[in-house]
Structure 1
Amino acid sequence: METLYIDDQIFIPIISDYGFKATFGNELNTLFLRKSLQALIKSDIPIKEVMFDKNTFEGITQDGRSGIFDLACRDENDNHFIVEMQYGDAPYFVQRMKFYALHKFNAMVKRGKFDYGTLTKIYCVAILANDILPYKDYHTLANLRNEKAELFDDQMTFITIELDKFTLQEVDCQTDLHKLIYTMKTIHTVTQPTQFPKFWDEEWLKVAIDELDSRKMTPDEKASLEILIARNAESVKAESRRIKEARQIEKIETIKNALKMGLTVEQCALLVNVSTDFVISVQQQILAN
Protein backbone atom coordinates (compact mmCIF):
# COMPACT_ATOMS: atom_id res chain seq x y z
CA MET A 1 0.00 0.00 0.00
CA GLU A 2 1.31 3.43 -0.95
CA THR A 3 1.31 5.72 2.06
CA LEU A 4 3.53 8.62 1.04
CA TYR A 5 2.00 12.03 0.62
CA ILE A 6 2.36 13.81 -2.72
CA ASP A 7 1.97 17.51 -3.42
CA ASP A 8 -1.41 17.42 -5.16
CA GLN A 9 -2.95 15.04 -2.65
CA ILE A 10 -5.81 16.58 -0.67
CA PHE A 11 -5.82 14.24 2.30
CA ILE A 12 -2.80 12.97 4.21
CA PRO A 13 -2.73 9.18 4.72
CA ILE A 14 -3.76 8.15 8.23
CA ILE A 15 -1.16 5.41 8.17
CA SER A 16 1.64 7.97 7.76
CA ASP A 17 3.39 9.17 10.89
CA TYR A 18 1.92 12.66 10.54
CA GLY A 19 -1.57 11.39 9.76
CA PHE A 20 -1.66 8.97 12.65
CA LYS A 21 -0.55 11.55 15.18
CA ALA A 22 -3.06 14.09 13.83
CA THR A 23 -5.96 11.65 14.22
CA PHE A 24 -5.32 8.94 16.77
CA GLY A 25 -2.94 11.19 18.68
CA ASN A 26 -5.19 14.26 18.69
CA GLU A 27 -5.18 15.28 22.35
CA LEU A 28 -7.48 18.27 21.83
CA ASN A 29 -10.32 16.10 20.57
CA THR A 30 -10.19 12.39 21.43
CA LEU A 31 -13.55 11.42 19.90
CA PHE A 32 -11.95 9.65 16.93
CA LEU A 33 -9.47 7.80 19.13
CA ARG A 34 -12.15 6.69 21.59
CA LYS A 35 -14.54 5.46 18.90
CA SER A 36 -11.68 3.75 17.04
CA LEU A 37 -10.40 1.92 20.10
CA GLN A 38 -13.92 0.76 20.94
CA ALA A 39 -14.31 -0.57 17.39
CA LEU A 40 -10.88 -2.20 17.33
CA ILE A 41 -11.45 -4.17 20.54
CA LYS A 42 -15.05 -4.94 19.49
CA SER A 43 -16.60 -3.57 22.65
CA ASP A 44 -20.21 -2.49 23.06
CA ILE A 45 -19.24 -0.21 25.95
CA PRO A 46 -18.36 3.36 24.90
CA ILE A 47 -15.01 4.72 26.02
CA LYS A 48 -15.84 8.01 27.73
CA GLU A 49 -12.35 9.35 28.33
CA VAL A 50 -8.72 8.68 27.41
CA MET A 51 -5.55 9.91 29.09
CA PHE A 52 -2.31 9.82 27.10
CA ASP A 53 0.77 8.27 28.67
CA LYS A 54 3.46 10.81 27.91
CA ASN A 55 6.63 8.95 28.81
CA THR A 56 5.68 5.36 28.15
CA PHE A 57 8.59 3.22 26.96
CA GLU A 58 10.92 6.21 26.78
CA GLY A 59 13.92 5.41 24.63
CA ILE A 60 12.36 2.47 22.84
CA THR A 61 9.20 3.92 21.36
CA GLN A 62 10.84 4.53 18.02
CA ASP A 63 13.04 1.65 16.97
CA GLY A 64 14.15 2.84 13.54
CA ARG A 65 12.78 -0.27 11.85
CA SER A 66 10.00 1.39 9.83
CA GLY A 67 7.67 0.80 12.75
CA ILE A 68 6.60 3.54 15.09
CA PHE A 69 5.23 2.94 18.54
CA ASP A 70 2.64 5.64 18.12
CA LEU A 71 0.80 6.05 21.38
CA ALA A 72 -0.18 4.65 24.72
CA CYS A 73 -3.25 5.73 26.64
CA ARG A 74 -5.68 4.71 29.37
CA ASP A 75 -9.44 4.91 29.57
CA GLU A 76 -11.57 6.00 32.53
CA ASN A 77 -11.40 2.46 33.97
CA ASP A 78 -7.57 2.44 33.80
CA ASN A 79 -7.53 -0.08 30.95
CA HIS A 80 -4.37 0.40 28.92
CA PHE A 81 -4.11 0.72 25.14
CA ILE A 82 -0.90 0.44 23.15
CA VAL A 83 -1.11 1.28 19.45
CA GLU A 84 1.57 0.82 16.82
CA MET A 85 1.44 1.64 13.14
CA GLN A 86 3.53 -0.39 10.67
CA TYR A 87 3.83 0.66 7.04
CA GLY A 88 6.80 -1.48 5.96
CA ASP A 89 7.77 -5.12 6.25
CA ALA A 90 7.06 -6.56 9.68
CA PRO A 91 9.35 -9.44 10.63
CA TYR A 92 8.88 -10.68 14.20
CA PHE A 93 6.04 -8.21 14.66
CA VAL A 94 4.11 -10.51 16.98
CA GLN A 95 7.16 -10.70 19.23
CA ARG A 96 7.33 -6.91 19.29
CA MET A 97 3.67 -6.72 20.31
CA LYS A 98 4.35 -9.14 23.16
CA PHE A 99 7.34 -7.08 24.22
CA TYR A 100 5.26 -3.90 24.42
CA ALA A 101 2.41 -5.59 26.31
CA LEU A 102 4.68 -7.37 28.78
CA HIS A 103 6.66 -4.19 29.39
CA LYS A 104 3.40 -2.47 30.25
CA PHE A 105 2.36 -5.40 32.45
CA ASN A 106 5.65 -5.25 34.38
CA ALA A 107 5.31 -1.49 34.80
CA MET A 108 1.81 -1.93 36.26
CA VAL A 109 3.08 -4.47 38.79
CA LYS A 110 6.07 -2.35 39.78
CA ARG A 111 3.78 0.57 40.55
CA GLY A 112 2.48 -1.41 43.49
CA LYS A 113 -0.38 -3.45 42.05
CA PHE A 114 0.78 -6.73 43.56
CA ASP A 115 -2.77 -8.04 43.86
CA TYR A 116 -2.81 -9.62 40.41
CA GLY A 117 -6.57 -9.96 40.55
CA THR A 118 -6.94 -6.18 40.42
CA LEU A 119 -4.79 -5.64 37.34
CA THR A 120 -6.65 -3.81 34.61
CA LYS A 121 -6.66 -4.90 31.00
CA ILE A 122 -4.00 -4.28 28.38
CA TYR A 123 -4.93 -3.98 24.71
CA CYS A 124 -2.02 -4.08 22.26
CA VAL A 125 -3.19 -2.86 18.85
CA ALA A 126 -1.20 -3.20 15.63
CA ILE A 127 -2.31 -1.59 12.39
CA LEU A 128 -0.32 -2.83 9.41
CA ALA A 129 -0.34 -1.94 5.74
CA ASN A 130 0.87 -5.40 4.75
CA ASP A 131 -0.01 -8.97 5.67
CA ILE A 132 1.82 -10.77 8.47
CA LEU A 133 -0.58 -13.45 9.70
CA PRO A 134 -1.57 -16.67 7.88
CA TYR A 135 -5.28 -15.92 8.22
CA LYS A 136 -7.78 -14.49 5.75
CA ASP A 137 -9.38 -12.16 8.29
CA TYR A 138 -8.25 -8.52 8.24
CA HIS A 139 -9.06 -8.15 11.97
CA THR A 140 -7.52 -10.59 14.45
CA LEU A 141 -8.24 -10.52 18.18
CA ALA A 142 -6.14 -12.89 20.30
CA ASN A 143 -6.06 -13.88 23.96
CA LEU A 144 -4.32 -16.61 25.93
CA ARG A 145 -6.22 -19.85 25.26
CA ASN A 146 -5.85 -23.57 25.97
CA GLU A 147 -5.49 -26.44 23.50
CA LYS A 148 -9.28 -26.47 23.00
CA ALA A 149 -9.28 -22.77 22.09
CA GLU A 150 -11.06 -21.99 25.36
CA LEU A 151 -10.27 -18.67 27.01
CA PHE A 152 -7.48 -19.04 29.59
CA ASP A 153 -6.98 -15.36 30.38
CA ASP A 154 -8.12 -12.08 28.84
CA GLN A 155 -6.10 -9.59 30.84
CA MET A 156 -3.95 -9.08 27.72
CA THR A 157 -5.54 -8.82 24.31
CA PHE A 158 -3.68 -8.49 21.01
CA ILE A 159 -5.51 -6.85 18.11
CA THR A 160 -4.12 -6.83 14.58
CA ILE A 161 -5.49 -5.00 11.55
CA GLU A 162 -4.02 -5.91 8.14
CA LEU A 163 -5.21 -3.30 5.68
CA ASP A 164 -4.29 -5.25 2.55
CA LYS A 165 -6.80 -7.94 3.50
CA PHE A 166 -9.69 -5.49 3.78
CA THR A 167 -11.70 -5.57 0.54
CA LEU A 168 -15.13 -4.28 1.57
CA GLN A 169 -16.66 -1.55 -0.57
CA GLU A 170 -18.38 1.55 0.77
CA VAL A 171 -21.84 0.01 0.56
CA ASP A 172 -20.70 -2.98 2.63
CA CYS A 173 -19.34 -0.91 5.52
CA GLN A 174 -21.95 -1.22 8.25
CA THR A 175 -20.00 -1.34 11.52
CA ASP A 176 -17.68 1.27 13.02
CA LEU A 177 -14.78 -1.14 12.47
CA HIS A 178 -15.61 -1.36 8.76
CA LYS A 179 -15.90 2.43 8.50
CA LEU A 180 -12.61 2.96 10.32
CA ILE A 181 -10.60 0.58 8.16
CA TYR A 182 -12.23 1.79 4.95
CA THR A 183 -11.30 5.36 5.90
CA MET A 184 -7.72 4.40 6.75
CA LYS A 185 -7.32 2.61 3.45
CA THR A 186 -8.96 5.15 1.13
CA ILE A 187 -8.92 8.68 2.57
CA HIS A 188 -5.68 9.67 0.83
CA THR A 189 -7.05 8.57 -2.57
CA VAL A 190 -10.04 10.94 -2.51
CA THR A 191 -9.78 13.96 -4.79
CA GLN A 192 -13.37 15.26 -4.80
CA PRO A 193 -15.99 15.71 -2.03
CA THR A 194 -18.43 13.81 -4.27
CA GLN A 195 -16.36 10.72 -3.54
CA PHE A 196 -17.12 10.92 0.18
CA PRO A 197 -19.09 7.96 1.50
CA LYS A 198 -22.14 8.98 3.53
CA PHE A 199 -20.70 7.67 6.78
CA TRP A 200 -17.87 10.22 6.59
CA ASP A 201 -20.49 12.69 7.83
CA GLU A 202 -20.45 10.94 11.20
CA GLU A 203 -18.89 13.28 13.74
CA TRP A 204 -16.09 10.96 14.90
CA LEU A 205 -14.84 10.48 11.33
CA LYS A 206 -15.30 14.15 10.41
CA VAL A 207 -12.96 15.07 13.28
CA ALA A 208 -10.20 12.90 11.80
CA ILE A 209 -10.79 13.83 8.16
CA ASP A 210 -10.58 17.55 8.95
CA GLU A 211 -7.18 16.98 10.55
CA LEU A 212 -5.99 15.24 7.38
CA ASP A 213 -7.08 17.98 4.98
CA SER A 214 -3.86 19.45 3.58
CA ARG A 215 -5.74 22.51 2.32
CA LYS A 216 -6.20 23.64 5.92
CA MET A 217 -2.52 23.41 6.80
CA THR A 218 -0.29 26.42 7.33
CA PRO A 219 3.00 26.65 5.38
CA ASP A 220 4.90 25.67 8.54
CA GLU A 221 2.67 22.63 9.05
CA LYS A 222 3.23 21.58 5.44
CA ALA A 223 6.98 21.95 5.88
CA SER A 224 6.85 19.77 9.00
CA LEU A 225 4.82 17.22 7.08
CA GLU A 226 7.36 17.03 4.27
CA ILE A 227 10.20 16.55 6.76
CA LEU A 228 8.36 13.70 8.49
CA ILE A 229 7.51 12.04 5.18
CA ALA A 230 11.12 12.18 4.03
CA ARG A 231 12.31 10.78 7.35
CA ASN A 232 9.80 7.92 7.24
CA ALA A 233 10.65 7.10 3.63
CA GLU A 234 14.33 6.81 4.52
CA SER A 235 13.44 4.65 7.50
CA VAL A 236 11.45 2.28 5.29
CA LYS A 237 14.28 2.04 2.76
CA ALA A 238 16.84 1.40 5.48
CA GLU A 239 14.68 -1.28 7.05
CA SER A 240 14.10 -2.95 3.68
CA ARG A 241 17.84 -3.11 3.16
CA ARG A 242 18.38 -4.61 6.62
CA ILE A 243 15.69 -7.21 6.06
CA LYS A 244 17.13 -8.13 2.68
CA GLU A 245 20.61 -8.49 4.16
CA ALA A 246 19.30 -10.58 7.06
CA ARG A 247 17.46 -12.90 4.69
CA GLN A 248 20.57 -13.23 2.55
CA ILE A 249 22.62 -14.23 5.58
CA GLU A 250 19.93 -16.72 6.60
CA LYS A 251 19.97 -18.29 3.14
CA ILE A 252 23.75 -18.58 3.19
CA GLU A 253 23.75 -20.26 6.60
CA THR A 254 21.05 -22.68 5.48
CA ILE A 255 23.03 -23.57 2.39
CA LYS A 256 26.19 -24.10 4.43
CA ASN A 257 24.38 -26.45 6.79
CA ALA A 258 22.74 -28.28 3.91
CA LEU A 259 26.08 -28.79 2.16
CA LYS A 260 27.60 -30.13 5.38
CA MET A 261 24.73 -32.61 5.58
CA GLY A 262 25.65 -33.89 2.13
CA LEU A 263 22.97 -32.29 -0.02
CA THR A 264 23.87 -31.61 -3.63
CA VAL A 265 24.12 -28.15 -5.12
CA GLU A 266 20.81 -28.71 -6.92
CA GLN A 267 19.10 -29.86 -3.73
CA CYS A 268 20.38 -26.83 -1.81
CA ALA A 269 19.16 -24.49 -4.54
CA LEU A 270 15.71 -26.09 -4.42
CA LEU A 271 15.64 -25.99 -0.60
CA VAL A 272 16.45 -22.30 -0.31
CA ASN A 273 14.83 -21.22 -3.59
CA VAL A 274 17.98 -19.75 -5.10
CA SER A 275 20.01 -20.41 -8.23
CA THR A 276 22.64 -23.12 -8.41
CA ASP A 277 25.20 -20.39 -9.13
CA PHE A 278 24.38 -18.83 -5.74
CA VAL A 279 24.89 -22.18 -4.01
CA ILE A 280 28.18 -22.69 -5.84
CA SER A 281 29.37 -19.26 -4.70
CA VAL A 282 28.61 -20.21 -1.08
CA GLN A 283 30.37 -23.52 -1.60
CA GLN A 284 33.44 -21.68 -2.88
CA GLN A 285 33.38 -19.43 0.21
CA ILE A 286 33.46 -22.49 2.43
CA LEU A 287 36.41 -23.96 0.52
CA ALA A 288 38.25 -20.64 0.63
CA ASN A 289 37.91 -20.48 4.40
Structure 2
Amino acid sequence: KKLFGEESSKPQLLSFINAFLELENMDKIVDLEFRNLEKLGLSKIDRKTIYDIYCTDEKGNHIIVELQRAEQNYFKDRMIYYSTFPIQEQGIKGLFYDGKALDRQGKLRKVSWDYGLKAVYCIGILDFEIKESVSNDYIHYINLRDQHGKVFYDKLKYIFVEMPKFIKQENELETFLDKWFFFLRNLDYLQEIPEIFNNDNVIRDAFKKAKFINLPKAEQGIYLESLKQYRDWSAVLETAEKKGYDKAKEEIVKAQEREAEAQKEKTEAQKREAEAIKKIENGIKNFSNLGLTIKKIAEAMDIEVVKVQEILNK
Protein backbone atom coordinates (compact mmCIF):
# COMPACT_ATOMS: atom_id res chain seq x y z
CA LYS A 1 0.00 0.00 0.00
CA LYS A 2 2.87 2.35 0.82
CA LEU A 3 4.41 1.62 -2.57
CA PHE A 4 1.34 1.99 -4.77
CA GLY A 5 -1.66 3.30 -2.83
CA GLU A 6 -0.75 6.92 -2.06
CA GLU A 7 -0.96 10.07 -4.17
CA SER A 8 2.83 10.42 -4.00
CA SER A 9 3.16 6.85 -5.30
CA LYS A 10 1.47 7.50 -8.66
CA PRO A 11 4.74 7.15 -10.65
CA GLN A 12 5.29 3.70 -9.13
CA LEU A 13 1.71 2.56 -9.75
CA LEU A 14 1.73 3.91 -13.32
CA SER A 15 5.02 2.18 -14.04
CA PHE A 16 3.80 -1.10 -12.54
CA ILE A 17 0.48 -1.17 -14.44
CA ASN A 18 2.03 -0.02 -17.72
CA ALA A 19 4.56 -2.86 -17.48
CA PHE A 20 1.60 -5.28 -17.66
CA LEU A 21 -0.10 -3.42 -20.50
CA GLU A 22 3.11 -3.25 -22.52
CA LEU A 23 3.34 -7.06 -22.70
CA GLU A 24 -0.18 -7.15 -24.18
CA ASN A 25 0.62 -4.33 -26.66
CA MET A 26 -2.02 -2.14 -25.02
CA ASP A 27 -1.96 1.66 -24.80
CA LYS A 28 -0.01 2.99 -21.84
CA ILE A 29 -1.75 4.93 -19.10
CA VAL A 30 -0.71 8.58 -18.73
CA ASP A 31 -2.41 9.50 -15.45
CA LEU A 32 -4.42 7.93 -12.62
CA GLU A 33 -6.99 9.07 -10.09
CA PHE A 34 -7.42 7.12 -6.85
CA ARG A 35 -11.02 6.16 -6.11
CA ASN A 36 -12.88 5.38 -2.89
CA LEU A 37 -12.75 1.65 -2.06
CA GLU A 38 -16.29 1.86 -0.69
CA LYS A 39 -17.43 2.29 -4.31
CA LEU A 40 -16.51 -1.36 -4.81
CA GLY A 41 -19.01 -2.52 -2.21
CA LEU A 42 -16.30 -3.94 0.04
CA SER A 43 -17.13 -4.62 3.66
CA LYS A 44 -14.91 -3.23 6.41
CA ILE A 45 -13.52 -6.71 6.98
CA ASP A 46 -12.69 -7.12 3.28
CA ARG A 47 -10.86 -3.80 3.23
CA LYS A 48 -8.73 -4.87 6.20
CA THR A 49 -7.70 -8.29 4.90
CA ILE A 50 -6.72 -7.31 1.35
CA TYR A 51 -4.66 -4.44 -0.02
CA ASP A 52 -6.96 -3.10 -2.70
CA ILE A 53 -6.16 -0.14 -4.90
CA TYR A 54 -8.99 1.22 -7.00
CA CYS A 55 -8.29 3.93 -9.56
CA THR A 56 -9.27 5.26 -12.98
CA ASP A 57 -6.99 6.37 -15.79
CA GLU A 58 -7.22 9.52 -17.93
CA LYS A 59 -9.65 7.77 -20.30
CA GLY A 60 -12.01 6.75 -17.51
CA ASN A 61 -11.00 3.07 -17.51
CA HIS A 62 -11.22 1.36 -14.12
CA ILE A 63 -8.30 -0.50 -12.54
CA ILE A 64 -8.30 -2.72 -9.46
CA VAL A 65 -4.99 -3.93 -8.00
CA GLU A 66 -5.08 -6.51 -5.23
CA LEU A 67 -2.22 -8.01 -3.26
CA GLN A 68 -3.39 -11.28 -1.72
CA ARG A 69 -1.05 -12.66 0.92
CA ALA A 70 -2.80 -15.81 2.15
CA GLU A 71 -4.51 -18.45 0.02
CA GLN A 72 -8.28 -18.15 0.07
CA ASN A 73 -11.15 -20.27 -1.19
CA TYR A 74 -13.03 -18.87 -4.20
CA PHE A 75 -10.37 -16.23 -4.87
CA LYS A 76 -11.17 -16.12 -8.58
CA ASP A 77 -14.89 -15.91 -7.83
CA ARG A 78 -14.25 -12.93 -5.58
CA MET A 79 -12.20 -11.12 -8.22
CA ILE A 80 -15.00 -11.65 -10.74
CA TYR A 81 -17.49 -10.36 -8.17
CA TYR A 82 -15.45 -7.23 -7.41
CA SER A 83 -15.08 -6.45 -11.11
CA THR A 84 -18.86 -6.11 -11.45
CA PHE A 85 -18.98 -3.05 -9.16
CA PRO A 86 -17.01 -0.67 -11.44
CA ILE A 87 -19.21 -1.90 -14.30
CA GLN A 88 -22.46 -1.22 -12.44
CA GLU A 89 -21.12 2.13 -11.22
CA GLN A 90 -20.99 3.37 -14.82
CA GLY A 91 -24.75 3.00 -15.32
CA ILE A 92 -26.68 6.29 -15.55
CA LYS A 93 -30.38 6.40 -14.75
CA GLY A 94 -32.73 8.81 -16.49
CA LEU A 95 -31.74 11.62 -18.84
CA PHE A 96 -28.56 13.68 -18.55
CA TYR A 97 -26.48 16.26 -20.43
CA ASP A 98 -23.47 14.63 -22.09
CA GLY A 99 -22.07 17.97 -23.31
CA LYS A 100 -22.30 16.88 -26.96
CA ALA A 101 -25.92 16.28 -27.99
CA LEU A 102 -27.66 19.39 -29.40
CA ASP A 103 -31.30 20.11 -30.21
CA ARG A 104 -32.53 21.82 -33.40
CA GLN A 105 -31.78 25.25 -31.94
CA GLY A 106 -28.19 24.23 -31.26
CA LYS A 107 -28.71 24.03 -27.50
CA LEU A 108 -27.55 21.17 -25.32
CA ARG A 109 -30.22 18.53 -24.84
CA LYS A 110 -30.59 15.64 -22.47
CA VAL A 111 -29.90 12.10 -23.63
CA SER A 112 -30.29 8.63 -22.16
CA TRP A 113 -27.36 6.33 -21.39
CA ASP A 114 -26.37 4.19 -24.40
CA TYR A 115 -24.72 1.42 -22.30
CA GLY A 116 -21.26 2.36 -23.54
CA LEU A 117 -18.80 1.11 -20.91
CA LYS A 118 -15.23 1.98 -19.99
CA ALA A 119 -12.77 -0.88 -19.59
CA VAL A 120 -12.20 -2.65 -16.26
CA TYR A 121 -8.81 -4.20 -15.49
CA CYS A 122 -8.31 -6.43 -12.43
CA ILE A 123 -4.73 -7.21 -11.41
CA GLY A 124 -4.17 -9.80 -8.68
CA ILE A 125 -0.68 -10.19 -7.19
CA LEU A 126 -0.79 -13.51 -5.31
CA ASP A 127 1.69 -14.69 -2.70
CA PHE A 128 0.57 -18.27 -3.34
CA GLU A 129 -0.03 -20.64 -6.26
CA ILE A 130 -3.53 -21.07 -7.66
CA LYS A 131 -4.64 -24.65 -7.00
CA GLU A 132 -6.03 -25.18 -10.49
CA SER A 133 -2.88 -23.81 -12.13
CA VAL A 134 -0.71 -26.62 -13.52
CA SER A 135 1.67 -24.72 -15.82
CA ASN A 136 4.90 -23.01 -14.84
CA ASP A 137 3.56 -19.68 -16.10
CA TYR A 138 3.61 -17.16 -13.29
CA ILE A 139 1.52 -14.54 -15.07
CA HIS A 140 -1.94 -15.17 -16.53
CA TYR A 141 -3.85 -12.81 -18.85
CA ILE A 142 -7.57 -13.62 -18.98
CA ASN A 143 -10.34 -12.12 -21.10
CA LEU A 144 -13.67 -13.18 -22.63
CA ARG A 145 -13.31 -15.34 -25.74
CA ASP A 146 -15.70 -17.41 -27.83
CA GLN A 147 -15.39 -21.12 -28.69
CA HIS A 148 -12.97 -20.30 -31.51
CA GLY A 149 -10.59 -18.41 -29.24
CA LYS A 150 -11.58 -15.05 -30.69
CA VAL A 151 -11.90 -12.16 -28.25
CA PHE A 152 -15.60 -11.60 -27.58
CA TYR A 153 -15.24 -8.54 -25.31
CA ASP A 154 -12.03 -6.58 -24.78
CA LYS A 155 -13.09 -4.19 -22.02
CA LEU A 156 -12.89 -6.70 -19.15
CA LYS A 157 -9.46 -8.15 -18.40
CA TYR A 158 -8.02 -10.09 -15.48
CA ILE A 159 -4.32 -10.46 -14.77
CA PHE A 160 -3.16 -12.90 -12.09
CA VAL A 161 0.46 -13.22 -10.96
CA GLU A 162 1.60 -16.23 -8.91
CA MET A 163 4.65 -14.75 -7.20
CA PRO A 164 6.02 -18.08 -5.81
CA LYS A 165 6.50 -19.23 -9.42
CA PHE A 166 8.68 -16.22 -10.24
CA ILE A 167 12.17 -17.58 -9.62
CA LYS A 168 14.27 -15.51 -12.01
CA GLN A 169 17.60 -14.28 -10.70
CA GLU A 170 19.00 -10.81 -11.23
CA ASN A 171 20.94 -11.81 -14.37
CA GLU A 172 17.82 -13.40 -15.91
CA LEU A 173 15.55 -10.35 -15.88
CA GLU A 174 14.40 -9.56 -19.42
CA THR A 175 11.50 -7.11 -19.21
CA PHE A 176 10.64 -4.13 -17.04
CA LEU A 177 7.86 -6.24 -15.53
CA ASP A 178 10.48 -8.85 -14.59
CA LYS A 179 12.32 -6.11 -12.71
CA TRP A 180 9.16 -5.18 -10.79
CA PHE A 181 8.49 -8.82 -9.87
CA PHE A 182 12.10 -9.29 -8.77
CA PHE A 183 11.86 -6.15 -6.66
CA LEU A 184 8.59 -7.21 -4.99
CA ARG A 185 9.68 -10.83 -4.51
CA ASN A 186 12.95 -9.91 -2.80
CA LEU A 187 12.00 -6.66 -1.10
CA ASP A 188 12.18 -8.17 2.39
CA TYR A 189 15.76 -9.31 1.80
CA LEU A 190 17.30 -6.45 -0.17
CA GLN A 191 19.58 -4.27 1.93
CA GLU A 192 20.82 -2.16 -0.96
CA ILE A 193 19.42 -1.35 -4.38
CA PRO A 194 20.77 -3.89 -6.92
CA GLU A 195 22.90 -2.44 -9.71
CA ILE A 196 20.37 -3.55 -12.31
CA PHE A 197 18.06 -0.77 -11.03
CA ASN A 198 20.68 1.99 -11.32
CA ASN A 199 18.93 3.54 -14.34
CA ASP A 200 15.37 2.89 -13.15
CA ASN A 201 14.52 5.92 -11.03
CA VAL A 202 10.92 4.80 -10.44
CA ILE A 203 11.95 1.49 -8.86
CA ARG A 204 14.79 3.19 -6.97
CA ASP A 205 12.24 5.59 -5.47
CA ALA A 206 10.01 2.62 -4.63
CA PHE A 207 12.91 1.00 -2.78
CA LYS A 208 13.43 4.16 -0.74
CA LYS A 209 9.72 4.30 0.10
CA ALA A 210 9.75 0.68 1.19
CA LYS A 211 12.65 1.01 3.58
CA PHE A 212 11.16 0.86 7.02
CA ILE A 213 13.70 3.21 8.53
CA ASN A 214 12.46 6.03 6.30
CA LEU A 215 8.87 5.74 7.51
CA PRO A 216 7.57 8.31 10.03
CA LYS A 217 7.12 6.92 13.54
CA ALA A 218 3.34 6.79 13.16
CA GLU A 219 3.59 4.80 9.93
CA GLN A 220 6.20 2.51 11.45
CA GLY A 221 3.63 1.61 14.08
CA ILE A 222 0.99 0.97 11.42
CA TYR A 223 3.44 -1.21 9.48
CA LEU A 224 4.37 -3.26 12.54
CA GLU A 225 0.72 -3.74 13.45
CA SER A 226 -0.06 -4.79 9.87
CA LEU A 227 2.86 -7.22 9.91
CA LYS A 228 1.67 -8.65 13.23
CA GLN A 229 -1.83 -9.13 11.82
CA TYR A 230 -0.45 -10.90 8.78
CA ARG A 231 1.70 -13.23 10.89
CA ASP A 232 -1.21 -13.91 13.23
CA TRP A 233 -3.50 -14.76 10.32
CA SER A 234 -0.81 -16.94 8.74
CA ALA A 235 -0.45 -18.85 12.00
CA VAL A 236 -4.21 -19.33 12.18
CA LEU A 237 -4.29 -20.58 8.59
CA GLU A 238 -1.52 -23.08 9.34
CA THR A 239 -3.51 -24.30 12.31
CA ALA A 240 -6.54 -24.62 10.04
CA GLU A 241 -4.81 -27.41 8.12
CA LYS A 242 -4.85 -29.50 11.30
CA LYS A 243 -8.03 -28.42 13.05
CA GLY A 244 -10.28 -27.60 10.13
CA TYR A 245 -10.71 -24.55 7.94
CA ASP A 246 -14.12 -23.52 9.27
CA LYS A 247 -12.89 -23.17 12.86
CA ALA A 248 -9.91 -21.08 11.79
CA LYS A 249 -12.08 -18.93 9.56
CA GLU A 250 -14.40 -18.21 12.49
CA GLU A 251 -11.43 -17.07 14.59
CA ILE A 252 -10.19 -14.82 11.80
CA VAL A 253 -13.59 -13.23 11.32
CA LYS A 254 -13.90 -12.51 15.05
CA ALA A 255 -10.44 -10.92 15.12
CA GLN A 256 -11.27 -8.81 12.10
CA GLU A 257 -14.59 -7.73 13.63
CA ARG A 258 -12.74 -6.58 16.76
CA GLU A 259 -10.34 -4.59 14.59
CA ALA A 260 -13.23 -3.09 12.65
CA GLU A 261 -14.93 -2.06 15.90
CA ALA A 262 -11.71 -0.47 17.17
CA GLN A 263 -11.37 1.44 13.90
CA LYS A 264 -14.98 2.56 14.18
CA GLU A 265 -14.38 3.92 17.69
CA LYS A 266 -11.26 5.72 16.47
CA THR A 267 -13.18 7.27 13.58
CA GLU A 268 -15.99 8.40 15.87
CA ALA A 269 -13.48 9.98 18.26
CA GLN A 270 -11.87 11.85 15.36
CA LYS A 271 -15.31 13.00 14.24
CA ARG A 272 -16.15 14.33 17.72
CA GLU A 273 -12.82 16.16 17.84
CA ALA A 274 -13.46 17.72 14.43
CA GLU A 275 -16.93 18.83 15.52
CA ALA A 276 -15.50 20.43 18.67
CA ILE A 277 -12.91 22.32 16.63
CA LYS A 278 -15.60 23.46 14.20
CA LYS A 279 -17.73 24.70 17.09
CA ILE A 280 -14.84 26.76 18.43
CA GLU A 281 -14.13 28.22 14.98
CA ASN A 282 -17.78 29.20 14.52
CA GLY A 283 -17.81 30.83 17.96
CA ILE A 284 -14.73 32.89 17.13
CA LYS A 285 -16.20 34.03 13.81
CA ASN A 286 -19.51 34.95 15.45
CA PHE A 287 -17.73 37.07 18.07
CA SER A 288 -15.72 38.73 15.30
CA ASN A 289 -18.90 39.55 13.38
CA LEU A 290 -20.22 41.22 16.52
CA GLY A 291 -17.21 43.55 16.48
CA LEU A 292 -15.17 42.10 19.34
CA THR A 293 -11.41 42.54 19.16
CA ILE A 294 -9.14 39.54 18.78
CA LYS A 295 -7.93 39.99 22.35
CA LYS A 296 -11.50 40.03 23.70
CA ILE A 297 -12.40 36.95 21.66
CA ALA A 298 -9.34 35.12 22.99
CA GLU A 299 -10.32 35.94 26.56
CA ALA A 300 -13.94 34.92 26.02
CA MET A 301 -13.05 31.63 24.35
CA ASP A 302 -10.02 30.96 26.58
CA ILE A 303 -7.81 30.57 23.52
CA GLU A 304 -4.44 32.06 22.60
CA VAL A 305 -4.54 35.27 20.55
CA VAL A 306 -2.37 33.68 17.86
CA LYS A 307 -4.86 30.83 17.45
CA VAL A 308 -7.77 33.27 17.11
CA GLN A 309 -5.88 35.24 14.47
CA GLU A 310 -5.08 32.00 12.60
CA ILE A 311 -8.75 30.95 12.49
CA LEU A 312 -9.94 34.39 11.35
CA ASN A 313 -7.35 34.43 8.56
CA LYS A 314 -8.61 31.15 7.04
Please say which of residues 120-129 and 33-42 is displaced more in the overlay.
33-42
| Mapping 1:32-181, distance limit 5 Å | 32-41=12-21, 42=23, 43=25, 45-54=27-36, 55-60=38-43, 62-63=45-46, 67-110=49-92, 114-116=113-115, 118-132=116-130, 133-181=133-181
Letter in 2 for 1:150: K
Please say which of residues 94-103 and 222-231 is displaced more in the overlay.
222-231
1:175 & 1:61 partners in 2: Cα distance? 37
1:152 & 1:44 partners in 2: Cα distance? 17
Whether the 8 Å contact between 1:170 and 1:197 is mirrored in structure 2 is no
Which residue is 2:234 aligned to?
Answer: 236
Q: 1:168 to 1:188 in 2, by over 3 A?
A: same
1:134 & 1:60 partners in 2: Cα distance? 32
Offset of residue 129 of structure 1: 0.8
Q: 1:242 to 1:52 in 2, by over 3 A?
A: farther
Larger radius of gyration: 2
Whether the 8 Å contact between 1:22 and 1:212 is mirrored in structure 2 is yes
- C-alpha RMSD of the superposition: 2.5
Which residue is 1:12 aligned to?
Answer: none
Whether the 8 Å contact between 1:67 and 1:85 is mirrored in structure 2 is no
Which residue is 2:224 aligned to?
Answer: 226
Whether the 8 Å contact between 1:70 and 1:83 is mirrored in structure 2 is yes
Offset of residue 212 of structure 1: 0.5
Offset of residue 218 of structure 1: 3.1
Please say which of residues 213-222 and 75-84 is displaced more in the overlay.
213-222
Q: 1:106 to 1:239 in 2, by over 3 A?
A: farther
Whether the 8 Å contact between 1:67 and 1:88 is mirrored in structure 2 is no
Offset of residue 104 of structure 1: 1.7
Letter in 1 for 2:7: E
Which residue is 2:292 aligned to?
Answer: none
Unaligned runs of 5+ in 1: 1-20, 249-289
Which residue is 2:280 aligned to?
Answer: none
1:137 & 1:67 partners in 2: Cα distance? 26
Q: 1:178 to 1:61 in 2, by over 3 A?
A: farther
1:134 & 1:115 partners in 2: Cα distance? 42
Higher relative contact order, chain-length normalized (CA < 8 Å, sep 6+):
1
Unaligned runs of 5+ in 2: 95-111, 248-314
Offset of residue 200 of structure 1: 5.1
Letter in 2 for 1:204: V
Equivalent pairs, count: 224
2:91 & 2:198 partners in 1: Cα distance? 41
